[in-house]
Chains A and B, each alone.
Chain A
Amino acid sequence: MTVIILERVSISLRGELSRWMLEVQAGVFVGTLSAMVRKLVWDYLTTAVRSGAGVLIYQTNTEQGFAMEFCGKTSRRLRDFDGLQLIQIPS
């Protein structure tokens, strides 16, 4: 399963993404994407968010069981502790 959360992006970008995934709430998308499709969609989003921000969460074979990627001006940061991903709230 893949989850993408977009904030402060254009309605048309959300519309584009809803071709691949379900928009559960405004800006919150869920779907089942293959690794290749996920990468292509995410690569596109990272260039298209402009002043907005995006978060990608997907199931993968790591200890945590999922991985996260951030793009754009997110209010929180992704931190990596020797392979364990945690979320930092900047002071």
Chain B
Amino acid sequence: MSGMNLQMLPKMRDSWSYLYVDRCRIDQDGKAIALHDLNGKTAVPCAALALLLLGPGTTITHAAIKTLTDYGCSVLWTGEGGVRMYAQGLGETRSAQRLLHQTRLYVDEGLRLKVVRNMYSFRFQESLDANLNLRQIRGKEGIRVREAYAKASRETGVEWHGRTYKRDDWQSADPINRALSAANSCLYGISHAAIVAAGYSTGLGFIHTGKLLSFVYDIADLYKANITIPAAFQAVKEGLDGMESRVRRTLRDRFKEQRLLKTIINDIDQVLDIGVVPANSLYDVDSAAPSDLWDPEHEAVEGGINWAEGGASE
């Protein structure tokens, strides 16, 4: 079913959020995907899955990658336990509509500032005083984050001495910092999958800037106080044995409770103030359809025809 109609796929909101695997081989198996390890073969319903996280020791075949991307399952290569993220696959849209909108907002300083304010007021769940400048908003946000940590610490009894870790020495970090990193990495993965699935660019960040994943950090930050911070503290409270895996399990429940997959693309649209988006574009039904050609007067003219034959005189 390659080149299939994207409408057949479950929407992002109906998907299972993620599958993390390591130390196994992934290949095509009877037109689907299967994991092979020492114990046997495990089938993966890739069309139902939003995100596949590949940890260390995984091997994946060309055919498997093709099937995964055909079915809109984002593939991310990550470090041990889903911490750190290296590479991405292709999402569930073939239309550039949202990317073009994002770019328009990004290049206009006034519009960009509006998006930044939208993002902060989304986090506060209240509208921000129009008199506050960006610096004051950042300060307000700093206080809110500090309170989120303090609240989670109070509720779970896990001690909190601040967000510190050495990037070059993972094990030296205290458990709660390791749990937070594991949780954030998973959240980055989901945000990344949603951004790519909706057809936005990961590189055009509004608050964050300069990295190819800046927009991923922007979007993930919308949810940290409500999702990853409580989940990480909860997992540490339950003990240190298998903590990283427990963090991810707790997150799966939180994603479900907060209906993250159902709302994340709408939330991104909301902070970018994109209004109503048509459910499907022509390219989702027929990815091989020729794209329009840009025209300064008409915005776009029909592509896939030869303009030497009469079309050019219009």
Residues of A within 8 A of B (CB): 61-64, 77, 79, 81-84, 86-91
The complex places the Cα of A34 from the Cα of B252 at a distance, in Å, of: 25
Contact A86 B44 (CB under 8 A): yes
* Chain A residues whose C-beta falls within 8 Å of the C-beta of B39 in the assembled complex: 77, 88, 90-91
Among A61, A87, A88, A91, max chain B CB count under 10 A is at: A88
- CB of B42 within 8 Å of the partner chain: yes
* Chain A residues whose C-beta falls within 8 Å of the C-beta of B245 in the assembled complex: 82
Contact B249 A82 (CB under 8 A): yes
The stretch from B17-25, B155-163, B201-209, B301-309 touching chain A is B17-25
* Chain B residues whose C-beta falls within 8 Å of the C-beta of A81 in the assembled complex: 19-21
The complex places the Cα of A90 from the Cα of B39 at a distance, in Å, of: 6
The complex places the Cα of A59 from the Cα of B165 at a distance, in Å, of: 41
Contact B249 A88 (CB under 8 A): no
Contact A63 B256 (CB under 8 A): yes
A-B contact pairs, 8 of them (CB 8 A): A63-B16, A63-B253, A77-B39, A81-B21, A82-B248, A82-B252, A83-B248, A88-B39
Contact A84 B16 (CB under 8 A): yes
* Chain A residues whose C-beta falls within 8 Å of the C-beta of B212 in the assembled complex: none
Q: How far is the CB of B178 from chain A (nearest CB, A)?
A: 16
- CB of B40 within 8 Å of the partner chain: yes
- CB of B145 within 8 Å of the partner chain: no
Taking CB as reference atom, which chain A residue is nearest B257? A61
* Chain B residues numbered 1-39 whose CB sits less than 8 Å from any CB in chain A: 16-21, 36, 38-39
Contact B252 A87 (CB under 8 A): no
Contact A86 B42 (CB under 8 A): yes
Among A62, A63, A64, A90, max chain B CB count under 10 A is at: A63
- CB of B41 within 8 Å of the partner chain: yes
* Chain A residues whose C-beta falls within 8 Å of the C-beta of B256 in the assembled complex: 61-63
* Chain A residues whose C-beta falls within 8 Å of the C-beta of B43 in the assembled complex: 86-87, 89
B interface bracket (residues with beta carbon within 8 Å of A): 20 to 34
The complex places the Cα of A81 from the Cα of B246 at a distance, in Å, of: 10
Q: How far is the CB of B30 from chain A (nearest CB, A)?
A: 11
The complex places the Cα of A76 from the Cα of B48 at a distance, in Å, of: 21
Q: How far is the CB of B189 from chain A (nearest CB, A)?
A: 12
Q: How far is the CB of B159 from chain A (nearest CB, A)?
A: 26
Contact B40 A88 (CB under 8 A): yes
Q: How far is the CB of B2 from chain A (nearest CB, A)?
A: 24
The complex places the Cα of A53 from the Cα of B235 at a distance, in Å, of: 35
* Chain A residues whose C-beta falls within 8 Å of the C-beta of B36 in the assembled complex: 91
- CB of B122 within 8 Å of the partner chain: no
Contact A89 B255 (CB under 8 A): no
Contact A87 B42 (CB under 8 A): yes
* Chain B residues numbered 212-232 whose CB sits less than 8 Å from any CB in chain A: none
The complex places the Cα of A13 from the Cα of B16 at a distance, in Å, of: 36
Contact A91 B252 (CB under 8 A): no
Q: How far is the CB of B47 from chain A (nearest CB, A)?
A: 14
* Chain B residues whose C-beta falls within 8 Å of the C-beta of A64 in the assembled complex: 16
**Could you say which of B38, B42, B249 contacts A89, with CB atoms under 8 Å apart?**
B42
The complex places the Cα of A84 from the Cα of B249 at a distance, in Å, of: 8
* Chain B residues whose C-beta falls within 8 Å of the C-beta of A84 in the assembled complex: 16, 18-19, 252
* Chain B residues whose C-beta falls within 8 Å of the C-beta of A83 in the assembled complex: 248-249, 252-253
Contact B252 A63 (CB under 8 A): yes
* Chain B residues numbered 254-277 whose CB sits less than 8 Å from any CB in chain A: 255-256
Contact A79 B42 (CB under 8 A): yes
Contact A82 B20 (CB under 8 A): yes
Q: How far is the CB of A4 from chain B (nearest CB, A)?
A: 21
The complex places the Cα of A64 from the Cα of B261 at a distance, in Å, of: 12
Contact A63 B42 (CB under 8 A): no
The complex places the Cα of A85 from the Cα of B40 at a distance, in Å, of: 15
Contact A88 B16 (CB under 8 A): no
Contact B42 A88 (CB under 8 A): yes
